[in-house]
A and B are shown apart, each in its own frame.
Chain A
Amino acid sequence: MSHAAAIWLLMLLQGTLTALGERTRDKMYEPILGASCFRRLNGTHQTGCSSTYSGSVGVLHLINVEADLEFLLGNPPSPPYAPLIPPHLFTRSNLMRLKEAGPKNISVVLLINNAEKMKQFSHELNCPNQYSGINSSETCDASNPANSWNPWGTGLLHEDFPFPIYYIAEEKEIDKLKDCFEKFNNKNYETHALRSLCAIEVKSFMSAAVNTEVCMRRTNFINNLGGSKYCDPLEGRNVYATVYPRNSTPNAIEGTKTDEKFILVTCRLDTASMFDGVGLGAMDSVVSLAVFTQVANLLRQILPAQSSLPDPRRNVLFVTFNGESYDYIGSQRFVYDMDKLDFPPKSAGGSPIAFENIEFMLDIGTLDDIANIKLHALTGTQLAQKLLEQLNTYAKSPRYGFNVNIQSEMSAHIPPTSAQSFLRRDPKFPALILNARPTNKYYHSIYDDSINVDFVYANTSQDFTQLVEVGDFKTLKAESLQMKVRNISSIVALALYQSLTGQEYTGTKVANPLLADELLYCFLQSADCPLFKASSYPESPTALPLPPMRYISVLGGSQESSGWTYRVLGYLLSQQKKIPKENCTILPLHFFAGYNNTGECRLTTQNYSHALSPAFLIDGYDWASGQYSTWTESTWSQFSARIFLRPSNVHQVTTLSVGIVVLIISFCLVYIISSRSEVLFEDLPASNAALFG
């Protein structure tokens, strides 16, 4: 008996899980997964896109060839429409035509992931960060794209659209859209107005508008108890580390400068794209980040102890700047802090570093074509010449067989990299930039991924931390990306070695291509990777098998990329100490899982510095002055899209009028009946009377 009851109870419990009814709306709507374009603002403009407040609705229309657009741009029968555009038609001219057609005709634009016919796809300007670099017309010429830094740029990233643009990557979702279009819309275009059509609703309303000045004023105005925000400044973290630990004892009084001498090696940490959460920036910055990391690792391993250097005050400072895609946020802040002797941040300890402490800066820019790298400088100096020679020594040395030729260009035609922030402050600043000829057709776009850089993960599971002999390719092909990164990073590291020690490097150990392999894998394919695991605390939860977000984002954003970079730099630029785990808790001591996951205590040097534009620190900053980056990102409540059948006006009007007629008739009828009920029910049956008798 009790058994039966127990079984019954069990079944009931199980039943509760399955007793889920289906709401009508589940049959009406089908969600569509994708990524939305969003709104950013600078000191003078708003860019990006936003839906209407309650969501933009448009009738699906697939654009296969350019001529299909004419249907929408002419006088479409049942506006507004939502064109489904493949990437090769997602051009500036088409988008501008759609924009001109206005939200009355075009309410949503859908970009579908169909890269077949795509030749190029870059939403950045021809001259990225044109107005925040050094003020020279030679730097970049937007009117002559061939001579610009991004010849394929469309500048769509800096346009303001009156409709939401929604990117659908998954094949399954695209099929849903296409099927729906074929089934309901793709016939009898003339009768569109009379039929129910397949439509999409995209919700991506942006609460900020006009420009940063307006939205910061609205956000900061103490007008509400809830503290609502309309926009957030783009904000992230720079990561820096030194090759030798700095003397962290605060022997120096606060504010006094140090007598150290630094070689500054920098690169960019972030990237940009039009759609939220998509875009890896493989070629535009992951490659240079890989080179940067390799240089750091190699230098730390081949350099002798700091005391044995000719000048023991010398050190190398590695900094990777965040937010560089948005008018050099990280480097502007770095320069600003250094000017005020606020670097390194107080929390990190150590005496402040001033510009006088920097011997020179080597900026690793974008390395689109690794075999064809130039050393840029604003003016030809002895320093530049010397470094070029050193670089070429190793680049051309038969001993290493790198076979790279590094040319130089001493002119104001400076690539858009972090060094511009330094040069802008002081054109005489000794900044040297390693940059390749621009060949990236997908600069700052969703297609700048591992395919764009032709990366194939070797997945050797071998130790990637140790240096290797120059002839050891570790099963990689000579022309693979990993080998190219190994080569250029070895060249840079050896040249820097020579600058520091004053001697030529004569060893045969060079950078390990597997380190590049692992790093590229982590940043391009999955954060659940050996390198990230090795540089984490042991037994820390595994990361998601997705590449880390590399958009600078805002305060409270994911900050994945700076976090991982911090750990990786910490791991690679540190010295192992024989200290048990229990005592290895106070920075700069840090405990890492290590390559073998055995756990190692290391003396680290890495740290964060704040990457928030100084514009947001200065009271009464003139937002339109263009001095600092003023980018902010609008807040939004949700991104969502769903398809459904949009009823025709005829159908709606019919329903409504039937309803109204029924209502009116029933009111009249009931009124008449109730007022004359005695006529209607004149004789009551006897039973009635009996009841109350």
Chain B
Amino acid sequence: MAAHVQASSLPPSASAEGAGIVDGSVNGETERLERPPKRQNQRNNYGSNNQDQPDAAILAVPSVVVRDSGGSRPSRLSGGGGGGPPTNETEEEQGLKYGAQHVIKLFVPVSLCMLVVVATINSISFYSSTDVYLLYTPFHELSPEPSVKLWNALANSLILMSVVVVMTILLIVLYKKRCYRIIHGWLILSSFMLLFIFTYLYLEELLRAYNIPMDYPTALLIMWNFGVVGMMAIHWQGPLRLQQGYLIFVAALMALVFIKYLPEWTAWAVLAAISIWDLIAVLSPRGPLRILVETAQERNEQIFPALIYSSTVIYTYMGTHYTPQQSQATASSSPSSSNSTTTTRATQNSLASPEATVASGSRSGNSRPHPQQNNQNRDGSNTLASEGMPLVTFKSNLRGNAEAAGFTQEWSANLSERVARRQIEVQSTQSGNAQRSNEYRTVTAPDQSHPDGQEERGIKLGLGDFIFYSVLVGKASSYGDWTTTIACFVAILIGLCLTLLLLAIWRKALPALPISITFGLIFCFATSAVVKPFMENLSAKQVFI
């Protein structure tokens, strides 16, 4: 649920980091990675990045890397900063520039998700009427008294939130204890349920809403294909667009489930509560999500990649993964000597926009865009994942099983596999055999990166954010007033923009819900209470302002 959007620079750093990683792998594999360098170093070092790089490159076994990084660097700098070494300002600007692109890359899926939800709400009456309730909302707000409804809603949201908190903590405990199998199984199961059962429910209601008869063989065939492709796309691999499409759909489905099963006022209360929780969990020093992320970084793992929407490929490519995680990991411990340079760089990349600038520079140099931000995104994803967990779990509980939970956590399921794979890859790179690993790591290398087309690292947003944005807009549209819906939509997008802006300024993981949801709630209620009558008066008399 919590979303973090992090803007980080990728490609250039990636190359450097990649090199560093290679070193690390050569030396001591993962252990080394688990000890990140200090942050201060990184910041201070930033200026020396360029100088460091050669070393890193040299350290890196593949010669390609060295070449690429060396070649691309200068060009980037010149391109992005307008010549000369990048100053902080220019870096920032370029961060923003790429930010703009990524903001749009988030706008599109978020809008699509809302579109699906709003269209569904307006065409399938099943989802706009609440007659069955979740186990977690024992108070059904049946009383006409507003005061009773209010305490019902508060109690419901309190219960829901406590479930969320408990599940988050459970997840952290499981994760700390390295119970990967449990998490894995849980995620697979829940994603399975979501992709099959909820989708089937949706299909059925869709067919009913349009009174389309369909025979069971056809329906089963559709369901089977849809579900299996979805499982593969989400958990294993598939075309990027397909994966994104599935994630959007899955988020929309979850949002619909919330809209359907939460009582009126509870839904609003939950929206408010979840954004507050998001704030706490991500920002407070002992916030569970933060702990989760830090743990993951210490272990140098990508926690729950399935919990986030990414404008790039999520599965694959361990090489890149290392770097981002390190960046945050760096915060705590001291780096090993050999790695220090690389790690520091990595951290810099992730933490600071300078990297971003680098990335942009690289992009210009390469004449093809390398959206940065991966590093931090990844962190974001982690946090997301952790946040997503609670959502998932609570949902799953509702349904009796972990069905609902799945989508967000599905990704995490892959985790152990991934770790294993990554190690393999690392080894292979060591030996120099595995081309693939090389490619991934040497993001900057234009030749190698191009074929995959996957290295373009995008910004990432938690599916939880998708869900709650859509819940807000869907709920607003269920009142039948389109101006309210549009106002909510615009407010949420602006909130997202602001969050991203703050991200660029503060350079740390931020929860994406609070600003957007606050704006959305304000505009939803203000519009339906004040603006709507005004606009209706105007449009009834055909007065235009």
Instruction: Tell me if A20 and B204 are in contact (CB < 8 A).
Output: no
| Residue A540 interfacial (CB < 8 Å) | no
A interface residues, how many (CB within 8 angstroms): 16
Instruction: Tell me if B536 and A22 are in contact (CB < 8 A).
Output: yes
Within 8 A of B (CB), among A4-25: 16, 19-24
Closest chain B residue to A224 by CB distance? B204
Closest chain A residue to B536 by CB distance? A21
| Residue A411 interfacial (CB < 8 Å) | no
Nearest chain A CB to B326 CB, angstrom units: 41
Would you give the 0/1 interface string for B165-192, flagging 1 where the beta carbon is closer than 8 Å to chain A? 0000000000000000000000000000
B126 in complex: contacting residue of A16, A27, A53, A226, CB < 8 Å: A226
Instruction: Tell me if B539 and A225 are in contact (CB < 8 A).
Output: no
Instruction: Tell me if A23 and B204 are in contact (CB < 8 A).
Output: no
Nearest chain B CB to A222 CB, angstrom units: 12
Q: A16-B529, A24-B540, A228-B208 are in contact. Are A223 and B216 (CB under 8 A)?
A: yes
Q: Which of A19, A20, A205, A637 has the most CB of B within 10 A?
A: A19
Instruction: Tell me if A225 and B197 are in contact (CB < 8 A).
Output: yes
| Residue B211 interfacial (CB < 8 Å) | yes
Tell me the bound Cα distance from A23 to B541 in angstroms: 11
Tell me the bound Cα distance from A226 to B533 in angstroms: 37
Q: Which of A16, A23, A205, A637 has the most CB of B within 10 A?
A: A23
Residues in chain A near residue B208, CB distance under 8 A: 228
Tell me the bound Cα distance from A27 to B125 in angstroms: 24
Would you give the 0/1 interface string for A210-238, flagging 1 where the beta carbon is closer than 8 Å to chain B? 00000000000001111010000000000
Instruction: Tell me if A21 and B126 are in contact (CB < 8 A).
Output: no
Q: A16-B529, A228-B208 are in contact. Are A21 and B535 (CB under 8 A)?
A: yes
Tell me the bound Cα distance from A525 to B210 in angstroms: 42
Instruction: Tell me if A224 and B533 are in contact (CB < 8 A).
Output: no
Closest chain A residue to B210 by CB distance? A53
Residues in chain A near residue B43, CB distance under 8 A: none
| Residue B532 interfacial (CB < 8 Å) | yes
Nearest chain A CB to B544 CB, angstrom units: 14
Within 8 A of B (CB), among A24-46: 24, 27
Residues in chain A near residue B532, CB distance under 8 A: 21
Instruction: Tell me if B533 and A19 are in contact (CB < 8 A).
Output: yes
Nearest chain A CB to B224 CB, angstrom units: 16
Residues in chain A near residue B540, CB distance under 8 A: 21-24, 27
Tell me the bound Cα distance from A223 to B197 in angstroms: 11
A21 in complex: contacting residue of B197, B205, B533, CB < 8 Å: B533
Residues in chain A near residue B216, CB distance under 8 A: 223
Instruction: Tell me if B201 and A225 are in contact (CB < 8 A).
Output: yes
| Residue B537 interfacial (CB < 8 Å) | yes
| Residue B534 interfacial (CB < 8 Å) | yes
Tell me the bound Cα distance from A205 to B208 in angstroms: 12
A23 in complex: contacting residue of B125, B211, B536, CB < 8 Å: B536
Residues in chain A near residue B211, CB distance under 8 A: 53, 205
Would you give the 0/1 interface string for B206-219, flagging 1 where the beta carbon is closer than 8 Å to chain A? 00101100001000
Closest chain A residue to B537 by CB distance? A21
Closest chain A residue to B211 by CB distance? A53
Instruction: Tell me if A24 and B539 are in contact (CB < 8 A).
Output: yes
Q: Which of A19, A21, A22 has the most CB of B within 10 A?
A: A21
Residues in chain A near residue B533, CB distance under 8 A: 19-21
Residues in chain B near residue A53, CB distance under 8 A: 210-211
Nearest chain A CB to B178 CB, angstrom units: 36
Nearest chain B CB to A52 CB, angstrom units: 9
Tell me the bound Cα distance from A503 to B154 in angstroms: 74
Instruction: Tell me if B536 and A226 are in contact (CB < 8 A).
Output: no
Instruction: Tell me if B539 and A226 are in contact (CB < 8 A).
Output: no
Tell me the bound Cα distance from A515 to B205 in angstroms: 52
Closest chain B residue to A225 by CB distance? B201
Tell me the bound Cα distance from A228 to B207 in angstroms: 13
Nearest chain B CB to A307 CB, angstrom units: 53
Nearest chain A CB to B505 CB, angstrom units: 25
Tell me the bound Cα distance from A26 to B533 in angstroms: 14
Tell me the bound Cα distance from A670 to B95 in angstroms: 32
Closest chain B residue to A209 by CB distance? B213
Residues in chain B near residue A225, CB distance under 8 A: 197, 200-201
Instruction: Tell me if B204 and A226 are in contact (CB < 8 A).
Output: yes
Closest chain B residue to A23 by CB distance? B536
Instruction: Tell me if B534 and A21 are in contact (CB < 8 A).
Output: yes
Q: Which of B200, B533, B539 has the most CB of A within 10 A?
A: B533
Tell me the bound Cα distance from A27 to B208 in angstroms: 30
Residues in chain A near residue B125, CB distance under 8 A: 637
Tell me the bound Cα distance from A226 to B204 in angstroms: 9
Tell me the bound Cα distance from A27 to B532 in angstroms: 17
Tell me the bound Cα distance from A336 to B540 in angstroms: 64
Nearest chain A CB to B212 CB, angstrom units: 10
Nearest chain B CB to A8 CB, angstrom units: 16
Closest chain A residue to B132 by CB distance? A226
Nearest chain B CB to A371 CB, angstrom units: 53
Tell me the bound Cα distance from A23 to B482 in angstroms: 11
Tell me the bound Cα distance from A24 to B536 in angstroms: 8
Tell me the bound Cα distance from A508 to B201 in angstroms: 70
Closest chain A residue to B539 by CB distance? A24
Tell me the bound Cα distance from A19 to B539 in angstroms: 15
Would you give the 0/1 interface string for A145-175, flagging 1 where the beta carbon is closer than 8 Å to chain B? 0000000000000000000000000000000
Nearest chain B CB to A21 CB, angstrom units: 2
Closest chain B residue to A205 by CB distance? B211
Instruction: Tell me if A224 and B536 are in contact (CB < 8 A).
Output: no
Within 8 A of A (CB), among B9-32: none
Tell me the bound Cα distance from A127 to B443 in angstroms: 87
Tell me the bound Cα distance from A205 to B209 in angstroms: 12
Residues in chain B near residue A19, CB distance under 8 A: 533
Residues in chain B near residue A23, CB distance under 8 A: 536, 540
Closest chain B residue to A638 by CB distance? B125
Tell me the bound Cα distance from A228 to B211 in angstroms: 13
Tell me the bound Cα distance from A27 to B542 in angstroms: 13
Tell me the bound Cα distance from A485 to B540 in angstroms: 60
Residues in chain A near residue B535, CB distance under 8 A: 21
Residues in chain A near residue B204, CB distance under 8 A: 223-224, 226
Tell me the bound Cα distance from A22 to B533 in angstroms: 8
Nearest chain A CB to B445 CB, angstrom units: 37
Tell me the bound Cα distance from A655 to B32 in angstroms: 70
Residues in chain B near residue A228, CB distance under 8 A: 208
Tell me the bound Cα distance from A226 to B534 in angstroms: 40
Closest chain B residue to A27 by CB distance? B540
Within 8 A of A (CB), among B511-535: 529, 532-535
Closest chain B residue to A53 by CB distance? B211
Instruction: Tell me if B537 and A226 are in contact (CB < 8 A).
Output: no
Tell me the bound Cα distance from A520 to B93 in angstroms: 87
Residues in chain B near residue A20, CB distance under 8 A: 533
Tell me the bound Cα distance from A637 to B125 in angstroms: 10
Closest chain B residue to A221 by CB distance? B216
Within 8 A of A (CB), among B307-342: none
Tell me the bound Cα distance from A23 to B210 in angstroms: 26
Closest chain A residue to B209 by CB distance? A53
Residues in chain A near residue B539, CB distance under 8 A: 24
Residues in chain A near residue B536, CB distance under 8 A: 21-23
A224 in complex: contacting residue of B201, B529, B537, CB < 8 Å: B201
Residues in chain B near residue A224, CB distance under 8 A: 201, 204
Tell me the bound Cα distance from A308 to B540 in angstroms: 81
Residues in chain B near residue A205, CB distance under 8 A: 211
Tell me the bound Cα distance from A224 to B534 in angstroms: 44
Nearest chain A CB to B534 CB, angstrom units: 7
Closest chain B residue to A21 by CB distance? B536
Would you give the 0/1 interface string for B340-355, flagging 1 where the beta carbon is closer than 8 Å to chain A? 0000000000000000
Please name 8 further chain A to chain B contacts, defined as beta carbons within 8 Å, in addition to the given A27-B540, A53-B211, sorted by A numbering: A21-B537, A22-B536, A205-B211, A223-B204, A223-B216, A225-B200, A226-B201, A228-B208
What would 13 A/B residue contacts be, using CB atoms closer than 8 Å? A21-B534, A21-B535, A21-B540, A22-B540, A23-B536, A24-B539, A27-B540, A205-B211, A223-B204, A224-B201, A225-B201, A226-B126, A226-B201
Interface pairs A-B: 8 shortest CB-CB: A21-B536, A53-B211, A21-B533, A19-B533, A21-B537, A22-B540, A224-B204, A225-B201
